[in-house]
Amino acid sequence: MLVITVVAASDGCARLPYTTTTIHQSQLVHVVLQQEVKPAGYTHPVQLTAGQVASMLRGFSLRSEQRVPLRWFADEQPPQTMLRDDEIARLAPFLVEAFQEAGPEARVHFSLSAPGMNRVDAKTVTSGWMAVRDPYLYITIEYYHTEMPIRSSDRYLPNNPQMPPLPGSFLLFFEPGRFWSIDRSGVRALEYREFLKSASAGRSTP
């Protein structure tokens, strides 16, 4: 078994998307390009403006998806706005840059941080990733206002490793709903070019 693990490690084959390029990193915003581990065939790079990205992000809302069997009994909560205006303003320029630099096998991963309940120990994170495969823009949210440890080791219990929680599962919604489609593989995605051409995009563009 040791031999198998050593071989597996030296092979170094990735089983999760991994970071290849950091577009921007600050205390509040972190945008990177992640290499997909399976062929993705995105139509990157994509030329977008910050206003276009902002208008798309403004249309999204979400609701956390309950696990079965809670899903059958729990009351459904109304969807919440995915990103506030100030968050979109901080994030959009870096997403534009990321989509310009991304290749066909890379996705754009973003993370927005705010001080946590105990600001020296935790941050509140909203993160996810986006990608474009014409005519669709895909978006997945991994964390939504989730408390995460700042350090990898516990500040209060020495040498207790700190792990972020596993990514959550969220149901995404988009307004106007006619642009929130299902692609050929059955995945929800935004027909972003149609949306950007529409009057609703124009109204929300700053």
Q: Dihedrals φ, ψ of 82, to 5°?
A: -70, -50
Closest approach of Cβ 34 to another protein, in Å? 9
Residues 5-64, interacting with another protein (CB under 8 A): 5-6, 8-9, 12-16, 18-19, 64
Q: Does 90 bind another protein (CB under 8 A)?
A: no
Binding string, 106-135, against another protein, x = CB under 8 A?
--------x-xxxxxxx-x-----------
Closest approach of Cβ 188 to another protein, in Å? 21
SS3 of residue 103 by DSSP? coil
Count of beta carbons in the 10 Å neighbourhood of residue 58? 21
Q: Does 1 bind another protein (CB under 8 A)?
A: yes
Q: Does 70 bind another protein (CB under 8 A)?
A: no
* Count of residues that interact with another protein, criterion CB under 8 A: 47
Q: Is the bond preceding 135 in cis, omega lying within 30 degrees of 0?
A: yes
Instruction: Among 22, 26, 49, 84, indicate the residue that binds another protein (CB under 8 A).
Output: 84
> From residue 136, how far is each of 132, 171, 182, 194, 200 by CA, in Å?
6, 17, 9, 9, 17
Helices of type H across the chain = 2-11, 50-58, 70-73, 85-101, 192-197, 199-204
CA dist 91 and 28 (Å) reads 9
Helices 85-101, 50-58: axis angle to 10 degrees equals 130
SS3 of residue 138 by DSSP? strand
Residues 138-177, interacting with another protein (CB under 8 A): 144-147, 149, 151-163, 165-166
Asked if 131 and 46 count as a contact pair (C-beta separation under 8 A), the reply is no
Closest approach of Cβ 115 to another protein, in Å? 8
- Which CB, 68 or 163, lies closer to another protein? 163
Closest approach of Cβ 159 to another protein, in Å? 4
- Which CB, 11 or 199, lies closer to another protein? 11
Please give the residue ranges that form the binding site for another protein (CB under 8 A). Answer: 1-2, 4-6, 8-9, 12-16, 18-19, 64, 77, 80, 84, 114, 116-122, 124, 144-147, 149, 151-163, 165-166
